[in-house]
Amino acid sequence: MNIIITGGAGFLGAKLSESLLLQFSEINSIKLVDRVQPSINLAANDKVQFITADITKSEEIAQIITEQTTHIFHLAAIVSSHAEEDFELGMLVNLKATELLLERCRHVNPKIRFIFSSSLAVFGGELPEKIDYMTAMQPSSSYGTQKAICELLVNDYARKGFVDALSVRLPTICIRPGSPNKAASSFVSSIIREPLKHEQSNCPVDIDLALWISSPNNVIKNIIHASQLNTSSLKGFRTINLPGLQTSPREMIACLIKKNGKPASELISYEKDINIESIVASWPKSMNNERELELGFSKDNNFTVILKEFLNTTN
């Protein structure tokens, strides 16, 4: 296995690398591709190579993807609120880079398994109470629109046999370690992570807003499963709604109080941000994942387990 991970300097890229190395002894190389050097503890592993590159430039992509490449995990993206603020940058990184990567695979090795990291943001408008894999995309943000276009490209390249590609729609990942980013959903982790560090945090949405989330460990497990999936079992559109669970800020904060006491919750403020709420509220609140579970994907049990998992990694 010769693997490429775009966005390799990010949290998910690093965690994916570690999990792949633990799971597959047949890995020959992992190329972590990003515009900055990752600060992760994989430098001592001679199978891992850090590559600083701009994947919006075809000549730089040509130096990375070769005939020996077997798997590409395309995680690199300009996140939701950032893509909404800077339309041109979002189109460049989220759309053009994906098209260039797919085109390079087409000409170099159509057998490459290409996993595109998509998002709940492809949905919007008047959604049913519970969506499934046939629910139409109707994004309410530039980020969601860019991801939706990429899903269509991925599906068409796979349909025509140009590359063995599929898309995975990630739930909101919670609880992410590290610092807040420009994602509209960043608060979902911050309202738990920061109080646990005795730092202030803000919940910018209605406390009872339904959220569709998954733990980092389960998302990584499901991304890897997608990379090994027999795609002949997929009928029609090559997009997977990764399983998640429904929660709300109120439920999450209640779990925090139960685990760490009320003082932690007193560090959370509730100043609404209409822009953030309008984006997050347009996303699905629940999904029918029967198809995905039958395909071997997994889901988290409840938020209490997710919180315990996070505390075990930080203590």
User: Tens digit of pLDDT for each residue in 129-138?
Assistant: 899 888 999 9
- Residue range 256-282, pLDDT digits in tens: 999 888 888 899 999 999 999 998 998
Q: Does domain 2-170+215-241 have CATH number 3.40.50.720?
A: yes
- Other CB atoms within 10 A of residue 65 CB: 23
The boundaries of every CATH 3.90.25.10 domain in the chain are 186-212+245-286+300-314
| Strand 239-241 relative to strand 268-269, pairing | unpaired
Hey, what amino acid is at 277? Answer: E
- Other CB atoms within 10 A of residue 60 CB: 15
The boundaries of every CATH 3.40.50.720 domain in the chain are 2-170+215-241
User: In this structure, what is the dihedral angle of CA atoms 290, 134, 132, 98, given to the nearest 10 degrees?
Assistant: 100
What pLDDT score does 39 carry? 63
Backbone CA torsion sign across 103, 68, 6, 62: negative
Q: Which residues does the chain have with pLDDT short of 70?
A: 38-44, 315
Q: Which two tokens stand for residue 55?
A: 């994947």
What pLDDT score does 16 carry? 95
Element at 21 (helix H, strand E)? helix 11-23
Q: Which two tokens stand for residue 214?
A: 């998954």
265 in Cβ contact with 195 (< 8 Å): yes
**Minimal CA–CA distance to 308: which of 180, 172, 175, 219?**
175
Whose structure tokens read 């760490």? 260
* Active site residues per annotation: 143
CA distance 108 to 179: 38
The CATH superfamily label for domain 186-212+245-286+300-314 reads: UDP-galactose 4-epimerase, domain 1 (3.90.25.10)
249 in Cβ contact with 209 (< 8 Å): yes
What pLDDT score does 234 carry? 82
Element at 235 (helix H, strand E)? none
What pLDDT score does 42 carry? 58
What pLDDT score does 252 carry? 96
CA distance 127 to 25: 43
What pLDDT score does 44 carry? 63
